[in-house]
Structure 1
């Protein structure tokens, strides 16, 4: 299982948000560029970078995001504010290894399917779920389409992955969220990245054995130090299979 240590940006600072509320950031006093380098030094093969300002239509973190992409030393999966073809193409040209698309995929699925074919293994579909409903616009609006139907509509699309977030994880705990994600992953033909469910090292061990889950986003737990990245990366590796000894 691939772990995606994550930096979330707002106003040039590393933050965490409670249920996506932009007006209630928890600020972490660390250098985001140095933190990205630390991820690589710990052995991560990918990282995720979420730009909350871009999600709100503000591009003030652009220079910093470019710096992180170029300095990290590992591929960056970029999320936040991908609402047009031009923005997707721009950030792929700037060096983003992948881009995460949610709202645009609901508004214009044909465009996202086309982008996935043009940029193979670089488009990640975001499926954000709260109380069983598909959420868009930064988790502020629910959709008529169900998460299951949304995923099925992209079944033939060559996506890099599907990132599934159970927004309720902040208030209901990990066990329920893993159940939501595992249920949706069972219907996916594309690798699933679980988001929002790792609060401690035991959660990494649980996720590793969930069928269909090939990766997990690891964010707040790194910053509040309830999870050590090097330990988590080792835990995420497949267990060596026992082999019979031949005399």
Structure 2
């Protein structure tokens, strides 16, 4: 299982939110590129990036910070937030992102996801963010009546590289991930599933890995708060 250290970007800074509320942001580093270098130096295989402002605006907002991160590291990075048309997908991949994550458009324009996955094999993931089991869009501000497994199944044959599943109620709260719901989603589809939200300890990572069906886990606040030692966690997951 791959551990993805998270850098959530708001106003050019690395922050963490609680339950996705923008007014609950805590700034952890005002130099996101330096933070990315620190994660890479610790041995991580990937970096997970989120343009929080972009998720609400529907377009890239923290592009300068993302580009600085890409210039600072030699590891693949994936980005979600504000990516809602083919031109933006193409632009980000051209700038060096290894993978884009499409969330809101997966609900509103699923054909775009399919077209992008065909055009850029292995470089398009679907972000499924759920509150109470129902998918939320537009920076988690709008809830839909679609369940996470139902949305995931719509892309079973689309060729997407991964599903990033976030339990909004767990995100940033340091209360542990929703292992059961994430594992159930992973078993419902053949697409690799990456867990996000609430990962707050090495035990949480080990519980996700022990399911045998979850391909990756994203952690942010726990790494910044030193609740998880990144080097120790990476060694444990490899072992």
TM-score interval, normalised by the smaller of the two chains: over 0.9
Counterparts in 2 of 1:1-247, with a 5 A limit? 1-57=1-57, 59-170=60-171, 173-174=175-176, 177-237=178-238, 239=239
Residues 29 and 39 of structure 1, relative CA distance in 2, 3 Å threshold: closer
Match in the other structure for 1:243: none
Residues of 2 paired with 1:83 and 1:60: CA distance?
13
Asked whether the equivalents of residues 166 and 195 of structure 2 are also in contact (C-alpha less than 8 Å), the reply is yes
Structure 2 regions of 5+ residues with no counterpart? Answer: none
Deviates more, 1:117-126 or 1:52-61: 52-61
What CA RMSD, in Å, does the superposition of the two structures yield over aligned residues?
1.6
Between the aligned partners of 2:68 and 2:24, the Cα distance in structure 1 is: 26
Give me the TM-score of the superposition, normalised by structure 2: 0.94
| 1:101 Cα deviation after fit | 0.6
The structure richer in strand per residue is: 2
Q: Give me the whole-angstrom Cα distance separating, in 2, the residues matched to 1:78 and 1:230.
A: 23
C-alpha deviations, 1:179-210, integer Å up to 9, x for none?
11111111020111000131011111111111
Length, aligned pairs only: 237
What's the offset of the Cα at 1:145? Answer: 2.2
2-structure distance, mates of 1:110, 1:232: 38
Q: TM-score, normalised by structure 1?
A: 0.91
Distance 1:2 1:86 in 2: 29
Deviation (angstroms), 1:67? 1.3
Give the Å deviation of 1:59: 4.3
Distance 1:173 1:66 in 2: 32
Q: How far apart, in 2, do the equivalents of 1:60 and 1:126 lie?
A: 18
* In 2: Cα distance, 1:169 partner to 1:20 partner: 10
Residues 155, 62 of structure 1: alpha-carbon distance in 2 compared, 3 angstrom cutoff: same
Q: Provide the rounded CA distance (Å) in 2 between the counterparts of 1:116 and 1:81.
A: 17
1:73-103 superposed Cα distances (whole Å, 9 cap, x missing partner): 2011111111111111110111111011110
